[in-house]
Each structure stands twice: as structure tokens, then as C-alpha cells.
Copies of this chain bind each other. A is one copy, B any other.
């Protein structure tokens, strides 16, 4: 915890530190690598300057070169439709990989943008793919992470497909909570780096609805909100909310 905050002020010398000594190395790219394997991975990873808020590591349409591992901060990814409207496709927290969706077409299908000051590592993909041929554990983890992304998306699909507005917001809060928890942060108190607008966009709701929901959740004693800070009071009730409310199809076996 000595560096959650200090992390934001990164000097060049600090940046050059190797994965081995990076305090986040077991979070970011949780590849379960050890010893030599880790050495090899380190060789291909580039450490980049931290992004300032609203800066982008890559833009929609850019040629695909690298995967990005978030070390601290957060980013959102979004696609822009022909008419200029944007759709947020995901929020990424420390320890998560951004850009996996670019592998198939060799070109980024979305733009990533920092929601706050964000430091990350860049992993050239060709090298990663090649290296994964040599290291079974790396290969295993990489496939696993991609699979997780698929599962995650599928869940979200379900969420957006048939969930009511309140269930959607509850799901997002729970998702953030559990992901932060996995990375060693508090599961019940955290800071929303994204705006209400971003949340609304992501959940497929109007900003007004999101705002009203936050108020309602608070009135119901489920959470405590103060601007961007959220405290989850009744985790279990929130969970129940996302599950049971499947008010439809109680017919089929």
C-alpha cells in the first residue's frame, strides 16, 4: 500500500524498474510466471509514460501492435459509430488487459481513453504470441484471460439484454467491487473514475436514470454515495437484486 498514491507520480527511473520488482507484477498480467519465464516476459514488455486523463494509448482503427496491461488508474474503451455517437464497451482496472479484441482483425476496434492518470505496460503482441509458444504457463494464462473476457462479455450481454435499469447499475457496482477486491483493494468502498455519463452510456441508460438510481439506492440504504465515492452498505441485497429480478420466463422448465 506504500504506493497506491505515490504510484501516480512516476519518475523515469521508477518506470524502468523491472517486472520482478514491480509491486504490481502479480496483479498486472497475472500470468503465474516464475524465474526464467518471467525474465523472458520482461524482455518483451515496454514500460510507457503514464497517461494523463483523457489520453489514449490507441485509437479505433489503429494497427494492432500491443496489448496493454493497466498498472494503476483506469481506462474506458469505446467505439464510435458512423454518426459520431460513442458506445462504451468496457472499463479496465489495474491488473487487467486492454486490447485483446484487436487480435482478430489486426486493428483496434475501439479507442481506449484514460479516465484518470493511468500507468500501464505495453506488451508487443507478436512477441507475446511467439513467447507463448515456448512457455506453456504463459500460453495457458493468456487463453484463460481471453476466455474470461468472453465470459464477462456474455454476462454483460445478459445484463443488458433483459435486466431492468436498477439491476444494471447493481451489476456494475458489484462487478467493480469484486474486481477491485481481487486486486487487493476494498470491495466496499471505492472511487468511480468514470462519469455518470459514462456509466449511463455503458449500461445503455439515460444519465438521468443513472442519477436517479444512485439516489434511490442510497435512500434504500443499499449504498452511500458522495459524488464519485461509493460505499456499498448492503452487498448481499445488491447481489440478490441482480439475481432474482429475472421476472421473466418463469415458465420454461
User: Which secondary structure dominates where chain A touches chain B?
Assistant: helix
Apart from A104-B151, A133-B133, A156-B157, 16 more pairs, CB < 8 Å: A79-B154, A81-B246, A83-B246, A85-B252, A86-B252, A87-B158, A90-B154, A100-B147, A102-B147, A104-B150, A129-B143, A132-B133, A146-B146, A150-B153, A153-B156, A160-B160
Residues of A whose CB lies within 8 Å of any CB of B are 79, 81-87, 89-90, 100-105, 109-110, 129-130, 132-134, 136, 139-140, 142-151, 153-154, 156-158, 160-162, 201-204, 243-244, 246, 248-250, 252-253
- Min CB distance A67 to B, Å, is 10
Least Cβ–Cβ distance between A55 and chain B, in angstroms: 15
Residues of B within 8 A of A85 (CB): 246, 248-250, 252
Q: Which residue of B lies closest to A168 (CB)?
A: B161
Known A-B contacts A104-B151, A201-B249, A243-B83; the reply to A89 vs B146 at CB < 8 A is no
**Can you list 5 A-B contacts (CB < 8 A)?**
A81-B243, A86-B249, A87-B162, A104-B150, A161-B202
